[in-house]
Structure 1
Amino acid sequence: MAYSFHKMNKDILSFDCKNEGNKIILNHYIMKKVNFNKMNGSLPKGYFEITSRSAAKDLNLSKSTISRMMDEFVNIGVIDIVKKSTLGRGSSIYKYITEREGKIMQTNTPLNEPIYKTVDGTFKISDFKDLSSINYPKEKTLKDSKHGTSKRENTKKELNNIYTRVIDYLNNKSNKRFKSNTKKTKTVINARLDEGFVEEDFYKVIDIKCSQWLNSEMEKFIRPETLFSSKFEGYLNEKSVVNDEKLEEIEPYEINFNY
């Protein structure tokens, strides 16, 4: 039996291959799940099941990076949430959005609604929100979707958004209360952006140094002026301390771009 591949969301074409490569890889990973489901029929067409932990292991990224990129995919209309896992436990179910216009599914649920099986049990689409009333955000341009531009290319508003996102992420990871609008914090972030580093690099450094320094005498140095200092590049190339928590048993994922 011949199978046609699910179409790719056209917004992926606007991603910067140099600075947003992880997003392109994640999209390919998701589409592989969508097309696999299309062949075995475990979920409706266009749907896929995923856990941040298994995706992080398969793609050699942190769970926080996977979660952040999935949230961004939702915000720009590449995917839509059908069922979100509770407290990071179990798998989440998403719908991959190919077209922005038109309804995602019929408004009226069939009388004999099919029951779909997932690793977390069985469900019916009507058990979750009505996907027919989704309002997608306006299409973003390449400039809107990029975080990897220099300080001079960023607008003041976008720079403020970067400060906020980076410091919020740092506070969440370290349980601290730094402010994103202080002159010292803006100065060190701007200096790294001017050197060609991108927003994702700040998250990586935060992940690395928090894994190394939290709950140690070095924890006092988990602060913007230290993490984003002139040693930033060195920190970026260090390795995180591996958590002993056992990851899910899953076959290694091999990237293959042959559609």
Structure 2
Amino acid sequence: MKFTIYGFSQKKLVEMGMNNDDALILRYFIDFKDSGAMIKEYMDDDMYYWVNYESLKNELPVLNISKDRIYRRLKYLVSINVLKHKTKKNGGTFSFYAVGDNYKTLIIDTSEITDGTVKTPEGYGKNTEEGTVKIPEGYGKNTGTKYSSIKDTSINNSSIKDIYVSVIDYLNQKCCTSYKSETKKTRQLIKARVNEGFNLEHFKTVIDKKYKDWKGTDFEAYLRPETLFGNKFESYLNQKIKKTSYNSNGKPSTFNDFDQREYDFDSLERKLLGWDKDAVENE
């Protein structure tokens, strides 16, 4: 029997009731998390990472399962403490996951470890009927750490498709636009901001602030990825929200960017109608 699959101990996978789908989903989560491109948030003294079920389904078509099925498999991983789960509600419902205490038992069979040294699994390096079985690199050596991970490099570590989709979906919904998350320039802009440490909530805040600031003005045309997610992203994020005043047609006042003068409108009306000529001449 092959000792590991996707870098996990097959023996432990079976013992914990995990199947091939579970192992592949877990491998995707771990590799995506380690890529540094995943949206994350610190909760209850641990770092949690946002999982977009639709994106996971699209990234792993080999699974050929529904989003609901993916959710149920992740829920099972949580039930056996391989993963931990938190739900966050902020303009929507978002599922965040973290590594659970039992994850480390899948990396390598703990019964094969003595004082940090990984034992050679039975049969490795012995002459069998099928020839000599090669001892995998690292087995039988002192790893220096208690556990050692063996990664399957076939999993795509660099994908941040879920944040591309989520950001553009939010922009389109908020601003009634039809931008595509697949556009190369748009992805470059979003990825650049993610690499600077910004997350989905930061993108939503910028969109919300500039929508409030520009909607109904000449600047409304700039509610687009090139403007919102460019070099001024951080300044937009930290911009103070201005109180919006509206004209009689229910549209934002064109003088909204200026401090407006306080008037005695009864007196002003009399002056404009010529009922108080002396007051008008003295203005």
Whether TM exceeds 0.5 here: the answer is no
TM-score for the superposition, normalised by structure 1: 0.38
**Of the two, which has the highest radius of gyration?**
2
Bigger RCO of structures 1 and 2 (CA < 8 A, at least 6 apart): 1
